[in-house]
Structure 1
Amino acid sequence: MSKRKLTRRQSWRIEKIQAERSARAARRDSLADEHLAEGELGPEEHGLVITHYGTQVVVEATEGLNAGTHKRCHFRSNLGSLVTGDRVVWRDGNPYGVVVAVLPRESALCRPDPHGDMKTIAANIDRIIIVVAPYPEPHANLIDRYLVAARGIGIEPAVLINKVDRIDDATREKITYLEQTYRRLGYQVLKVSTKTNTGLDELTRYLADFTSVFVGQSGVGKSSLVNALLPDCNLRVGELSDRQQGSHTTTNAQLFHFPGGGHLIDSPGIREFGLWHMEADEVLEGFVEFRPFIGHCKFRDCSHRHEPGCAILRALAAGDISQTRMDSYRYILSTLDQA
C-alpha cells in the first residue's frame, strides 16, 4: 500500500502536535525531577493508577498502613503513557508523590487515535463490557470492533443492553436482533435498566472478582450504571440531545472497587473505535463464526470476496454466516485499507 503524500498544512499540523507533546513531556519530567531532587519522598511502595489527569495520575496505595488512600503523583515521560489500571511503584511526597516505575501489564485495551498513534484505554483488565442502549442508536459494527479487539488481546467480552425500559416500537426490532445475534454466537448478553433495577443483580454477579471496563458510545448510560452499582460514586450523568446523541460526561477513565471483590473501570464514550493497528487475519479471527472455515479455502491468499472455492463464502451461502456480519467484516477491512 503506497503512502499518501501529506499536504503542507497536514505536515505543519503533525509538527505542531509533536512539538506540543515534547513540551508537555519536558514539563512533566521537570516537575518529577524537582520532587525527586527534594529528597523528602517516602520509601518505594506499590500502587494502582485510579485515574489520569494530564501530566499527573491519581495512585491508590495498595500496601502498608496507607492502603486504600489516594495520592496525586507526577511521573517521568520515559515511563510511557500511564493509564487507569496500571500497577506502579511510587514514592509519597508533599504535596505530590512521584511514580518511579510501572509494572508489566497483563493486558491492555488499545485503539489508534486520529493521528495514527496507539492510545491505551485501560490496563490489567479481565473483561470488556460493551454497553449499548436503544438511544443513541446502537451500531452492530461498533460492537463487532470491540469484539475483534477483545479477541486480539484474549479478554472475555460481553454485550450489555442498557436502558431496556426505553425500548419502544422504533427500536424493538433492532435491539431484539442484536440480542439474538450475539447470544447465538455464544457471547454473554446482559439486559439492564437502572430505572427499574432490571438485571442489576445479574450484572453485579458477572462483574464480581474481575477487573472489567465499560466501553461504548457517549449517552448509553455507563456512568448511570456505575452509580447504580456503586451509589457512593455519584458520577455526573448527562442527558441525550434532541438528536438522541450523548454528551461526554466522563472525560477520564476511572477505576472503582466493589465491596465484595472486583474492580470496574468507566471509560469515556467514543463514537468510533478504529482497528487500524490490526492485520486482516486478526480481524478475520475476531469473527467467531468464521473460525471453523478459516484455512479451508482453495487459495491460501483468498480475500474471501469473490474467489472460487472460498470456504467463507460457502458458509455465507449456507447461512452459517449472516450477511450482516459479513458486511461488518468487510467494512472493517475497508477501514484498514483506507488507513
Structure 2
Amino acid sequence: MSKKKPLSQGQLRRMRANQSKRLKRNESAQESIDIQDHLLTPEQSGVVISRFGQHADIETQDGTVTRCNIRRAVTSLVTGDKVVVRLATEVQSGSNIGGIVEAVHPRTSSLTRPDLYDGVKIIAANIDQILIVSSVLPSFTTQIIDRYLVACEDTGIDPVIVLNKIDLLDDQNRPEIEQALQRYRDIGYPVYQLSSHTGEGTDEIKSLLKDKVSVFAGQSGVGKSSLINALMPEADLLIGDVSDNSGLGQHTTTTAKLLHFASGGDLIDSPGVREFALWHLDAQRVGWCFIEFRDFLGTCKFRDCKHGDDPGCALQDALKQGKIAQDRFSNYQRIIASLDEQRHARHFRAIDDI
C-alpha cells in the first residue's frame, strides 16, 4: 500500500477553518444560556478545577466549586488557571451553570504537549513541579525519563524523578537502577524512591508536595494512580493493572482535574502528560534541554555539527572524558533521530482525521 502524502497548506487551512466554524456554532448556542449581568455577584478570584468545552468548574476562595460559562474574550483556559469569576445570585431553572469566567490571570508556567492541528497545546497552568514516575515494573528505562526531562526543561517546570515499586528491587536489578539514578543526582536532579504498595517513602513525597502544584508523569503501568491513591485516598482514582502478558499498563485518567492533598499542595491529574512527543522541538533545543550538555554546546569545531561522527565535536570529546554519561548521550541521539519520524507520522494522522 502506498503511503499517504502529508497535508498541503490548503488542506490545513480548510481543516482549521472548519474547526473555527464549529467553535463559533458552539459559542452561539452558548449565548442563549448566558447569565444576565444583573444576576451576577461582584468579581472574585478563583482557580480552574477542570475544563469542559465552553464550561469550567471554578473553585473560589471559600472552597465552593461552581460550573461556569466562559466569556468569549477568554481565548485560552485550562486546569490550574487563576481566574476572575462572577457567580450567579441564583441558578436558572434547568441549568447547572452558576457563574461566568470573566478573565484569566497571567500564568507562571504552562504545561504543553504537541497537538495534531495546533502545533503545541496548553493542557495545564501554574505548575510548580513535575514528578517523573518510573518503576521497577514495567522494566526501568532511562529513555522515558530523559524524554520527560527534555519536556520539563523546555517548559521551565522543575522535574523530580521518582522510582516507584522499590519493593520489587532485588539483587539482580538493583545495581543497574541505582547507578542510573545516581547519574541523575550527579547532574543535579532530585531523586526519590518509594513503594505505593508498602508505603515506604511516601512521607518524603508528601513533604515534597506541600504548598506546591504538581503533576505526575510517566509511562503506563508505573503506578501513578496507585501512588496518587496512596497520597490522596479520597481521590478514588481508577487503577490500571499491568498486563501479565505484555508488562504494559492501561491508561486510566480521562479528564484533567485539580485535586487537593490533605497534607497541603495540589495535584493536576491530566491525561495530556501521556503525550510527551517532542516533534515540535528542533535539534538545537533538545540538546540544550540536556542540562549537562550546555557547557559544550556551541564549542564544536564546525557550527553545523550534528554531534555524531563529526570531527571536532565537543559533545563527543566530553563523552570520552566522562563528563557526559553514555546512556544520556545515547538517549539524546535517539530523540534527535525520532524527530523527523514523529513529524512524518503526525501528517499521516492528520490526513486520517479529515
> Partner of 2:60 in structure 1?
61
> Partner of 1:332 in structure 2?
335
> Partner of 1:186 in structure 2?
188
Unaligned runs of 5+ in 1: none
| CA deviation string 1:39-67 (max 9, x = no partner) | 423222211011223332211002xxxx1
> Partner of 2:136 in structure 1?
134
Q: Do 1:136 and 1:244's aligned partners in 2 also have CA atoms closer than 8 Å?
A: yes
Q: Do 1:217 and 1:270's aligned partners in 2 also have CA atoms closer than 8 Å?
A: no
Summarize the Cα distance change of 1:80–1:131 in structure 2 as closer, same or farther, 3 Å threshold.
Answer: farther
- Report the secondary structure of 2:26's partner residue: helix
> 2: CA distance between counterparts of 1:23 and 1:326?
45
| CA deviation string 1:202-224 (max 9, x = no partner) | 11111112211111223322222
Q: Do 2:112 and 2:155's aligned partners in 1 also have CA atoms closer than 8 Å?
A: no
| CA deviation string 1:259-293 (max 9, x = no partner) | 44322222227654112222322211111221222
- Report the secondary structure of 2:192's partner residue: strand
> Partner of 2:300 in structure 1?
297
> Partner of 1:310 in structure 2?
313
User: Is 1:250–2:249 an aligned residue pair?
Assistant: no
Q: Do 1:134 and 1:166's aligned partners in 2 also have CA atoms closer than 8 Å?
A: yes
> Partner of 2:264 in structure 1?
261
Letter aligned with residue 338 of structure 2: T
- Report the secondary structure of 1:332's partner residue: helix
- Report the secondary structure of 1:59's partner residue: strand
5 Å matches for 1:212-223? 212-223=214-225
5 Å matches for 1:227-246? 227-242=229-244, 243-246=246-249
Summarize the Cα distance change of 1:6–1:322 in structure 2 as closer, same or farther, 3 Å threshold.
Answer: same
Shift of 1:16: 5.6
> Partner of 1:154 in structure 2?
156
User: Is 1:6–2:6 an aligned residue pair?
Assistant: yes
Unaligned runs of 5+ in 2: 344-354
> Partner of 2:45 in structure 1?
46
> 2: CA distance between counterparts of 1:14 and 1:164?
50
> 1: CA distance between counterparts of 2:307 and 2:207?
40
Q: Do 2:46 and 2:60's aligned partners in 1 also have CA atoms closer than 8 Å?
A: yes
Q: 2:65 aligns with which of 62, 67, 70?
A: 70
Letter aligned with residue 210 of structure 1: K
Summarize the Cα distance change of 1:11–1:198 in structure 2 as closer, same or farther, 3 Å threshold.
Answer: farther
- Report the secondary structure of 1:79's partner residue: coil
327-336 or 16-25, larger mean C-alpha shift: 16-25
Q: Do 1:255 and 1:265's aligned partners in 2 also have CA atoms closer than 8 Å?
A: yes
Shift of 1:181: 2.8
Q: 1:91 aligns with which of 81, 86, 91?
A: 86
Q: Do 2:194 and 2:200's aligned partners in 1 also have CA atoms closer than 8 Å?
A: yes
The structure 1 segments of at least 4 consecutive aligned residues displaced by more than 4 Å after TM superposition are 10-18, 168-174, 269-272
TM-score normalized by structure 2? 0.83
Shift of 1:142: 2.5
- Report the secondary structure of 1:35's partner residue: coil
> 2: CA distance between counterparts of 1:316 and 1:33?
63
Summarize the Cα distance change of 1:55–1:90 in structure 2 as closer, same or farther, 3 Å threshold.
Answer: same
> 1: CA distance between counterparts of 2:257 and 2:140?
24
Indicate the structure whose relative CO is greater, using CA pairs within 8 Å and at least 6 residues apart.
2
> 1: CA distance between counterparts of 2:118 and 2:37?
38
Letter aligned with residue 53 of structure 1: F
10-19 or 243-252, larger mean C-alpha shift: 10-19
Shift of 1:32: 4.9
Letter aligned with residue 59 of structure 1: I
Letter aligned with residue 250 of structure 1: T
> 2: CA distance between counterparts of 1:136 and 1:291?
31
Q: Do 2:113 and 2:273's aligned partners in 1 also have CA atoms closer than 8 Å?
A: no
Summarize the Cα distance change of 1:136–1:56 in structure 2 as closer, same or farther, 3 Å threshold.
Answer: farther
Shift of 1:30: 3.2
Shift of 1:180: 2.7
- Report the secondary structure of 1:111's partner residue: strand
- Report the secondary structure of 1:47's partner residue: strand
Summarize the Cα distance change of 1:149–1:7 in structure 2 as closer, same or farther, 3 Å threshold.
Answer: closer
